[in-house]
Amino acid sequence: MTDLDRLRSATAAALPAWTGAAAPHLPEWRVAFTTDGSDAPTGIAPVCQDEDHDSGDGSVYTCCPDPAVEVECPELAEYLVALLNADRVAPEAAE
């Protein structure tokens, strides 16, 4: 098992307690406005499943699952979301 596989498994085990996503699937991520006053989303957060939270609204509210992570760079936020969403199925499920 590579370091990446080990870290992916550990995250898959830890995140459902925060996000409510059911194993073996990791949560779907989105870019999010995690700081005030930015022109573009500079953070990432799990997609919110609340029916009153419009999917096009990048803000983070009390309805949203944790963790919302500020990364300070819109391009990095987009990249991390793409990476995390490409890797959503835990390794045990993919084997």
Q: How many CB atoms lie within 10 A of CB 68?
A: 16
Site for Zn ion in 62-81 (CB under 5 A): 63-64
Q: What does the alpha-carbon distance between residue 58 and residue 38 come to, in Å, rounded to a whole number? A: 12
Q: What does the alpha-carbon distance between residue 41 and residue 50 come to, in Å, rounded to a whole number? A: 20
Question: Which region among 8-16, 27-35, 40-48, 77-85 touches Zn ion (by CB under 5 A)?
Answer: 40-48
Size of the site for Zn ion (CB under 5 A): 6
Q: How far is CA 35 from the centre of its chain?
A: 16
One residue of 25, 53, 87, 88 binding Zn ion per CB under 5 A: 53
Interface residues with Zn ion (CB under 5 A) are 48, 50, 53, 61, 63-64
